[in-house]
Structure 1
């Protein structure tokens, strides 16, 4: 629940943000006094050097304080290991501040409190509100000069690290990368042993999500040269790096993907990285044609966390659900979710376009692709996916593709990190690309796409609107003439459309067409069941 603070320090006393020796002496002296209020005050007034150098003692001291004391020190409550657990279940932690208290705080205290508000709202699942405090802290850094921020041993690198993490949680990966770059540059100067590695780990994860696989791999290579992370930040740092590696392996469809995924956090994790782990796992499951397992994974993760309003987590859940529900045959739920997710993030919008193509709603797909083309923050992987979806649309509209389109698809296929994306394309498109390439390029393209058929989802062929009408008429009318009369066109037109329909379905008879269309869920249930 929202908590108000009535001040965090005695008036006239300045917060210590640099002297770790003085900080730990003050905390130990307070602990020895067995005075809870004194312990809380010493911890609060020395919060940054304690967190940076003596994290274990700080957390132990905080967890020894009774709840009534912690209620008056919300900055300390964020350090309690029970806070994130309770925040995602029964007790959202959303500290507020009275205007009078804010006026009595020093700039350092306001920085710290704004940081805590950002992290607290993020832990409680309200990423949209966390973004408000992230912007507020960004503004303070730019507009208000504070001496402690200008010191190498100050907290500025951590502010940028946490702002970037909030942007990452919101799916704003491009903006997050800028914050992580600043955090890394400052971290190199900081005496905090983990500063640079923490920033690099989140950088690698952001690149992996954006599909900048080369950048992600080079960043992970840099991390390998750094010292081992200390205990205080081991869990979050190692899980961030593991998520980045797993996403890379899944996109590359590498043999080690399964082993890497097994090392990720569970679905009910409280780490910031849980939606990224969910994305890696579900992408892998869908590539293996296990949509039921993907639906179960999403359900478990969703039930274990509060609704993540305005978050990357919601984007992942919606996008995976649309594709997985369609793949298991629950087209009604997939369509309902696609219709309700139009304002979601990039992943959901891509899934909506894909779903529209699968259902031959080509106008919807075209409108979605136009919107995506106007987006400036897409990563390389997302731009590649948009290009492939555009090629799919072109193939569906014309039953063929231009040579330039074929060349674009072939270039994407030549990148090892795009194998998963290529595997999601319909075989019809792959065949049309091969037909439009030169003999030499076609051989190379076949080698690149070889072995992907077994990992490809069984895709429905892309039918035109006229072909769909004819298909739905087949179970209802016995002859071509009856279909022509029902659709108000000539029998020759129906014959032409039937030839095209049979070719796309890979059959030559009416009964086979109905059977294949039913299996691929191209026919409405009520239509296919009619005599």
Structure 2
């Protein structure tokens, strides 16, 4: 397998193309795939698109390189690369590296990130335990293998481990003789940092990438969009800059690039910060219709979490709970959105469960941990009506970081006021300075009612008398009266008619005990 001589690879391919034998062209491409891919991508693509489908299926790396594979994966049957048995047995160690790489990429394109991660781990293991001549060469493909493993981890939502792979890819890329290798690694590193909320690191990676050479045509779109999406995520979180301009020219929501869920996340966050949840829902719908998305992927996490947040903003919490039910195995973003929804609807036990699960998740980034702290403060206030001094101080520390502006804007004014009231004079001054440019909103939060109170509340429209309700539920009239007083206090009203009207607006009627 030729891994290092691009001129010979180009000449061998030209000779095979002139001969016109598809088998010879396929074998030539497979034998020279790395130098063709890195130095002659146009010639490589031109040769692959002319090959018959049967040959593409026999050589998985060729099927993955075909430009139509990613497009057709959205509508046609998913491509699952399996080499012919005889071909696999005759492969060298370097060729087996590329076979596993092709399998990983194919499942990633198909939206099956869970299976793609199986091949990523398999390739990791080969890099540790199996020697290959090409990987030992300074100008070999080792940096690219690490780059693609990291990209698969990023697509699976494991941004922390992805950063380690991108760092390795960058260091190896420095010595590879391929000047664009570092820029590719830096662009994906910036994206991973932006998702985690380590925005200063993301900015540093973007600044370094800007001084790097342009990448080849095969990677130009993915690299440029990674950089622009990272910049957009930074701007959204800091509430600074023109997000629309940053996202222009990136992959659209129906793109086949790996970056599309990150672009969707930036767009949805921008729409929600401008109070345009309907636009966010439309972007989500187009993205969902245009991609094969399965559980266990960052894409699925973005779609579920962004849908829940948009539905909270539109007031359709019933539909939002349906999204929660349909996505039992999701990532940290959806867990945070579920906790937000639960707090919004007064389901405090559900919020507590989600926040406890997040507290034990070692993979989440600083932004997700900061959001969990803010939601925990909200939960504490909802349960006790008070806020512990340490909780208030933690929230102040988050507010003092400009990276967390978007998160703070989503907190209810009730929490903001309680933080202020809990602090001493010095702390109040710090809090006022940190939040002076943030507009907080009064949120109509559904009260937390006990199962008995929910039962009485739902009986009000049909059974007017206390005695009737006591008889129907086999409790004493005094119990009914006590629960009614508690309901009135929690709803902020004094009559049954007001309670029914407020409960209807808050979607409390017909709520189940499980709710």
Normalization by structure 1: what TM-score? 0.88
Contact 1:242/1:260 (<8 A) preserved: yes
Residues 255-301 of structure 1 deviation map (CA, whole Å, 9 limit, x = unaligned): 42232234432121000000111111111212222222222211111
Question: What are the equivalent positions in structure 2 for 1:104-253 lying under 5 Å apart?
Answer: 104-253=90-239
Partner Cα distance (1:371, 1:438) in 2? 32
Q: Does the CA contact (< 8 Å) of 2:180 and 2:212 recur in 1?
A: no
Which structure 1 residue ranges, 5 or more long, are not aligned?
A: 1-14
Q: Matched residue of 1:78: which SS?
A: helix
> Are 2:40 and 1:54 equivalent residues in the alignment?
yes
2:363 to 357, 368, 377: 377
The answer to whether the 8 Å contact 2:488/2:495 transfers is no
- Tell me by how many angstroms 1:66 deviates: 3.1
| Matched ranges for 1:12-411 at <5 A | 15-411=1-397
Q: Name the CA distance, whole Å, in 1 between partners of 2:462 and 2:273.
A: 36
**Correspondence 1:430 to 2:419:** no
Contact 1:480 1:495 survives alignment (8 Å) = no
Q: Distance in 1 between matches of 2:242 and 2:418?
A: 32
Do the aligned partners of 2:107 and 2:113 also contact (CA within 8 Å) in 1?
yes
The question of whether the paired residues in 2 share the 8 Å contact of 1:342 and 1:352 is answered with no
Residue aligning to 2:509: 524
Shift in Å at residue 354 of structure 1?
1.4
Shift of 1:327: 3.0
Per-residue deviation, 1:358: 1.4
- Contact preservation (8 Å) 1:239, 1:264: yes
How far, CA to CA, are the matches of 1:236 and 1:525 in structure 2? 49
* Helix, strand or coil at the partner of 2:82: strand
- Cα offset for 1:372? 1.2
Aligned to 1:7: none
Aligned to 1:413: 399
Aligned-CA RMSD value: 2.7
Kindly tell me: are residues 471 and 425 of structure 1, through their superposed partners in 2, closer, same or farther at Cα, counting changes over 3 Å? farther
In 2 relative to 1, CA 522–399 (structure 1 residues): closer, same or farther, beyond 3 Å? Answer: farther
CA contact (8 A) 2:317 2:341 kept: no
Structure 2, unaligned runs of 5 or more: none
CA distance in 2, matches of 1:105, 1:233: 27
Q: How far, CA to CA, are the matches of 1:526 and 1:500 in structure 2?
A: 16
The 8 Å contact of residues 286 and 324 in structure 1, kept in 2 or not, is answered as: yes
Structure 2 CA distance, aligned partners of 1:116 and 1:438?
60
- Contact kept, 8 Å, 1:164 with 1:176, in 2: the verdict is yes
1:43-102 Cα distance to aligned partner (Å, 9 max, x none): 111110111111111111222323333333331222221111112221422211344432
**Which of these residues, 422, 444, 459, is aligned with residue 430 of structure 2?**
444
Number of the residue aligned with 1:6 = none
Contact residue 194 and residue 233 of structure 1 kept, 8 A:
no
Whole-angstrom CA distance in 2 between matches of 1:442 and 1:478: 48
CA drift at 1:320: 1.4
Task: Check the 8 A contact 2:467/2:477 in 1, yes or no.
Answer: no
TM-score of the superposition, structure 2-length normalised?
0.91
CA offsets 1:226-264 (integer angstroms, 9 cap, x no match): 123333311010011111111111111224223223443
Which is further off, 180-189 or 321-330? 321-330
